[in-house]
Each structure stands twice: as structure tokens, then as C-alpha cells.
Amino acid sequence: MKGRTIVLDHLGDIEAAALMVDGQLDDLLVDTPDAPRVGTVYRAIADRPVKGQGGMFLKTPDGMAFLRQIKGLAPGQSLLVQVTGFAEDGKAIPVTSKLLFKSRYAIVTPDAPGLNISRSIRDEPERDRLLEIAHEAMEDATFGLILRSCCTGADSEVIAEDIEAMLGLAQTVMNDGSSEMETLAEGDGPHVLAWRDWVDQAEVVTQAGGFEEHGVLDALDALAQDLVPLAGGASMYVEPTRALVAVDVNTGADISLAAGIKANMACARSLPRALRLRGLGGQIVLDLAPMPKKDRRPFETALRAAFRNDDVETTLVGWTPLGHYELQRKRARAPLGEVLA
């Protein structure tokens, strides 16, 4: 089946959204009922600093959180923070004090004043149109605003309504004068996130049973396996452990001299999707198929290009003395295996 399809459904009682591209599952968002959603805003209470790490534990309605860069923050002080990712079992919720109020077209930035247009919008008349909308919608607001790339060609009234909604939410949260610990805004669920972030043209399926009809359930069965088939008969195993995610690349039946680089290049192209669908992050170690050192640079170039289009922040760390390749990936999603367990 060609084209893009967004399927909004549930896995049992859990809200979920799937993006199918040409009949293949390309992205998956699954709610986490037992954990705070990314984007949730708390009024937290500073608890105790962590010596040597430049951070502090905070008390929130959902448990302990951890905040970095705490200059000037004293125990007992209240402050606004926003959830940035998912915590491993037994660890504190990662938060930031730099709040963002994000929707499909607009991002309101209370701590960064100024009106900005996505750099990917290069058409000057379109940029002028969007700046005019932004100035009118923001009026005398002191907050900053970023208009996202999907604003290109969008209806002016729709963009203005989106800006006003996010500005209103930001003002309500930032102007709240209480000092008690409280949840001030919930993060978006999978269905809203799909509308917000999957902006390319697509068919949208909302009726119950959409996951079964469009092959999402079959794709989930495949994701339960560590094995990921690659082009040319190669494969890789993506195995999460407590310390890291291990990726083992195999050439399969190919015994030619170029088998190693072909398998590793296939791994580079497929790895972002494999990690994204499984919700995996943290330290990732690639045990690649054997290849000459002269082929390392093309592999890194392919890997960098593959992650450039992935929306989860990933740092390519480099090679180890044993010839493994390391990455560090933000824990932006809960591991699929834990959510569906």
C-alpha cells in the first residue's frame, strides 16, 4: 500500500498512534499510563543538591525529578519545570526549567523572547506573511515564538488560533502565583502528538480496529523480536540490556569481500527506525560486521545522514579501541517492551 497513513487507535486500554509509510510501520507513539507524559509542567519543590553532578532532586506530584544547571536554586524553593523524557525504573524524572509550549504550528518560548520563523522556510514573501501573523497574534506579549516549518501554505486564521491557544496556556502557567507542589499542564497524548508532529500529507484513520486492518498489530509482533532483517540478506540484533542497547550486525550468507561494508551500511540506514519504534535510548553500542578501516568514514557519513531525519536527539560518539561504534540517544520515549508488558 503506497502513501502515508496515520492510524489512531488503542492497544487494549492504552492510547496509541501509528504512522505507516508505503505499508511499513515507520513510527509509533504509545501512551504511558504509569509515567508522566513528556511536556508535563510541574510546580516542583527543590529537595537536595547532588554533589559533583551540578544538579538537584526535586519533589513533584509524580515523584522525584532531577534538574541540571541549578545555579541560585536553594532547597525548599518552588520552581516551574517540564518533563523532557522518560526515566528508567527507579530513577528520577528528567526535567528542565526552560519551558516550551508546543503545538502543530507554533512553539511559545517564555524564556526566549523574539519572533522566529523555521529556517527551512526560505521563501521571503511567505516569511513576511508569517511574521505579520506572529506580530498580530502575539501583540504585546513578552514571550518568544517560533513558527514551525509546517506553517508554509497554512491558513492564516488557523495559524493565528494555534498561536493564541499556546500563548494563553503559557500565560496561565507562567503567571500562576501559588507556591504549592502541583501539576500545571499535562503533556500531549499519542493522538495529539500525531496531529502535532506528523505534519506531512497523509490519510488519517480513526475508527476502532484500525491497527488490525492496516497491519500495525503484525508489525508489533515483529518488534517483539530482537532480529531486524536488513537488505541483501544481512541482519542485526537490537538487544536492550540494563546498561546499554547492544546492536550486533551480521552479513548472513554473503561471504564476499564487500559483505561487511554492505551489511554495516544497511544497518546505518535502518538503525534510526529500529530504535524509534522500540522506544530505545541511552548508550548504544554497535558491534559491526568486519570491514576495513578505510570504510569507517563512509559508514559514519551514512549513519549521520540517517539520524538527521530522526526527531529524537542522538549523538554519534565514535569508535572504541575494540572497533565498536557508540551513540548516545535521548530517552524521549518509554521502551515499547515495558509499555506493552
Condensed to tens digits (0 to 9), the pLDDT of residues 9-40 reads: 999 999 999 999 999 999 999 998 889 999 99
Q: Please give the class, per CATH, of domain 41-98.
A: mainly beta
In this predicted structure, what is the pLDDT of residue 17? Answer: 97
Residue 178: per-residue pLDDT? 87
Lowest mean pLDDT among 250-254, 280-284, 321-325: 250-254
Asked whether residue 341 carries a pLDDT value surpassing 80, the answer given is no
Contact between residue 120 and residue 149 where contact means Cβ atoms under 8 Å apart: yes
pLDDT tens digits for range 68-101? 877 778 899 999 999 999 988 788 999 999 999 9
* Model confidence at 266: pLDDT above 80: yes
Give residue 273's pLDDT: 96
215 residue type, one letter:
G
% of the chain exceeding 70 in pLDDT: 100
Q: Are 86 and 38 in contact (CB under 8 A)?
A: yes
- What are the sequence ranges of the domains in the chain? 41-98, 101-178, 224-339
The pLDDT tens digits of the residues spanning 117-176 come to 999 999 999 999 999 999 999 988 899 999 999 999 999 999 999 999 999 999 999 998
Which strands, in side-by-side order, build the sheet including 282-287?
227-229, 235-240, 245-250, 282-287, 325-329, 314-319
pLDDT category of residue 197 using cuts at 50, 70 and 90: very high
> What pLDDT digit, counting tens, does each position of 326-337 carry?
999 999 998 998
CATH number of 101-178: 3.30.230.10
- Judge whether residue 293 has pLDDT over 90: yes
- Mean pLDDT calculated for residue range 239-261: 91
**Prediction pTM value:** 0.90
CA-based nearest residue to 273, from 210, 234, 230: 230
**pLDDT exceeds 90 at position 340:** no
Q: For residues 129 and 63, give the distance between their C-alpha atoms in angstroms, rounded to a whole number.
A: 45
Rounded Cα distance between 199 and 168, Å, is 23
Whether 311 and 148 have beta carbons less than 8 Å apart is answered as: no
